[in-house]
Every structure is written in C-alpha cells, then in structure tokens.
Amino acid sequence: MRKGFLAEADRLATAVRSELGLGVHHRFDPRVLATEYGIDVLPITDLIAEGAAATSIRQLTAVDDGCFSAGTVLVGTSRLIIFNPVHSDGRLANSVAHELAHVLLEHTPGPAIGPGGCRIWDQTMEEEANTLAAILLVPREAALMCARIGLPHAVGAARFGVSPDLMRWRTDHSGAARQAQAAAKQRGKTIPRLGAADVRAVIGASALGWLNDLPEQEWLLVLAACGRALALASTSALIDSLQPPSAS
C-alpha cells in the first residue's frame, strides 16, 4: 500500500461520515451514501428482468454463491452497484462499501474480465478499497472503545452492521487492540476476554439487531454497561446489558 494512504483514507472517511451527519459511533449505511451519489444498488437477481441468463444468476447465487459479492457496472457516466443477495447483511455492507470506496478514491474503472475469461485484478486498488471501506464502516475510535472493554467482536459487529470477521480485522489492523492492551498494561490491568463458549452463549441469548440504529449516546450507555459486566466476568450481566429496553 502506498505511503501515506492510511492517513488519507482516515481523512476521507471522516469527511464522508461527517457529510452524512454520522458520529464516530454511528452505523454507516453504504446505501445511504450511494443514494447521495445517485448510484442505484440492486441485487444481481434483478438483472434477469434486464435479459441476464437465469442460469448464470443461479450459478452466482446458488451453485457457487461465494464467488461473487458485488460489482459496479458503468454505462456512460452512470454507475450501478449489483450485489449478491444471498450473502449476510454484514458481508453485503462491506461489499457495497468496497464498491463505493473505488468511487471515492477515483480509481480508474476497467473491465473485470480479460481475454480468455481471466479476471483482471489490480491488487493496489483492491487493497485501498478494502481499507477505506473498513474505515468507513468502523472508525478507529469506535473499535478502540470496544477493544478497551474486551467487547466480543460479534456485539460490535451488530452495532456497526458488519461481520464479526471484519470487526476483528478492523480492531487488529487499526492498532486499536494493541493500543487498548498497552493502556491496560500501563494501569496494571488486563482486558477481560470471554471464552468462545461464553461468547456463543451471549450471542445465542441476545437479539442484537436493536443495537444497529441506537442513537450514539444510548450505544455508549450500552457499551458502558457491557464493560461493567465484562469486568465482573459475568456472562449473565452481559446478556442483560444486551437486551432491548422493552425486554429488560
């Protein structure tokens, strides 16, 4: 990755989120940004009505549903983002954000498939789009606050509308995990960690979808409650902290 790109991506993501009225702890919905740019976002299955072969769409959505996540179609100056509707919401958010990152970074578009059916892949552009998409979806400060209390990645992922894998990647690669650990060590403390079985129990007992659209201050209150429960190593208290108010 070229020198200075991370700082550039941080500034760009901050500006974009600000333009959308989003604070550091708000969920970023890539479809809202697409609307701002006049870019339609449609499931690939909609292309059947436009003449795409149903067998080809089935190949991408049923036979080998992992081979295609999203792509951008250009016609003149217009753009259309198509996505694979069988993927999870978290994966789709990352896929659409990735496509929008190419636009934000003003990457030169080109054909996806070359002679002989081989995929054309510009590794630098793809890495840059991956990085910017992750920063847009999970700001470093937000990842740091989750890391400081040892919040399970699945819970942070539910808040920010991403997959647990992306939440983990962002926490690690942004340096948030390392900073949180260093700060805890300096205070003579350790960050609490739930075991895999406890995490599964918490996720299984908690409907986390309500975290998605919480106002920022309410999310911070939930985060604080989770921090207290984790400090006590209390799985039951953590589960209670993750129940929607009407269910408490």
Q: In the chain, what are the domains?
A: 5-137 (1.10.10), 141-247 (no CATH)
Q: Report the residue count for the chain.
A: 248
Query: Percent of the chain having pLDDT more than 90?
Result: 81
Average pLDDT score over the chain = 92
Q: Using CA atoms, how far apart are residues 244 and 248, in angstroms rounded to an integer? A: 7
The secondary structure of 121-159 as a DSSP string is: --HHHHHHHHHHHHHHHS-HHHHHHHHHHT--HHHHHHH
Contact partners, residue 148, CB within 8 Å, separation at least 6 = 180, 183, 184, 191, 227
What's this model's pTM, rounded to 2 decimal places?
A: 0.90
pLDDT tens-digit series, residues 114-161:
555 556 667 899 999 999 999 999 999 999 999 999 999 999 999 999
Tell me what pLDDT residue 76 has: 79
Tell me what pLDDT residue 248 has: 46
Tell me what pLDDT residue 109 has: 78
